[in-house]
Structure 1
Amino acid sequence: MTSLKCSAHNCCYNKNSLCSRGAINVEGAEARYADDTACESFRDQEECAVKNSADSCCGCETVNIDCKAHNCTYNEHCKCTAASINVSGDNAHRCCDTKCDTFSCEC
């Protein structure tokens, strides 16, 4: 599993910059830059409040990461192999407002 820090504080899974979801999906099949990626698992706090689906447990330091960013150095068979990653999205309200800062194009 990969160590994850997350600055998408508007995400209902964000607990003190850690993720309470247990696993995330990073999208960006044709990504060449970090800005071309996104945390597909992001859910706005308001969305979770309406659906009452927010996870109330603590954030985890490590999570499983399914990665669709095929050009990333750390993508091995759609799994992230980086020791740690940072997902950013300080003012995110949608998944496309986030990105995987650790993305490194092998192109």
Structure 2
Amino acid sequence: MTILNCTAVTCVYNKDRLCSRGEIQVTGSDARIADETCCGSFRDRNEGSAVNSIKDSCGCEKINIDCKARECTYNEHCRCTASAIDINGENASAQSETKCSTFACKC
């Protein structure tokens, strides 16, 4: 499992910069830079539909990460092998406004 620090505080799953979802997906299958990745699991807190179902969940420091960024150094069979990652997106209102800042292209 990977240690996750998430600044996407507008995400419904974000609990004190931790993730209450249990696992996330990093997308950007053709990414060559971090800005071409995003958290595919991001859901805007203001949408409200998922809020009630997880409001009592606690954040996890370590989670599984399904990584679709094929060119990332840490991607091994679609699993993130980094010991820790940062998901950025402080003012995000959509998945495309987040990114995996730990992404490192093996290209």
TM-score normalised by the chain length of structure 1: 0.95
Structure 1: stretches of 5+ with no match in the other structure: none
Determine helix, strand or coil for the equivalent of 1:50: coil
- Partner in structure 1 of residue 12 of structure 2: 12
What is the aligned residue count? 106
Deviation at 1:54, TM superposition (A): 3.4
Residues 27-67 of structure 1: per-residue CA shift (max 9 Å, x gap): 000000000000000000012x2343334211000000000
Displaced runs of 4 or more, over 3 A: 50-55
Determine helix, strand or coil for the equivalent of 1:42: coil
Structure 2 CA distance for aligned equivalents of residues 100 and 57 of structure 1: 23
RMSD (Å), alpha carbons: 1.0
Deviation at 1:104, TM superposition (A): 0.1
Determine helix, strand or coil for the equivalent of 2:93: coil
Matched AA of 1:11: C
- Partner in structure 2 of residue 86 of structure 1: 86
Matched AA of 1:84: A
- Partner in structure 2 of residue 50 of structure 1: 49
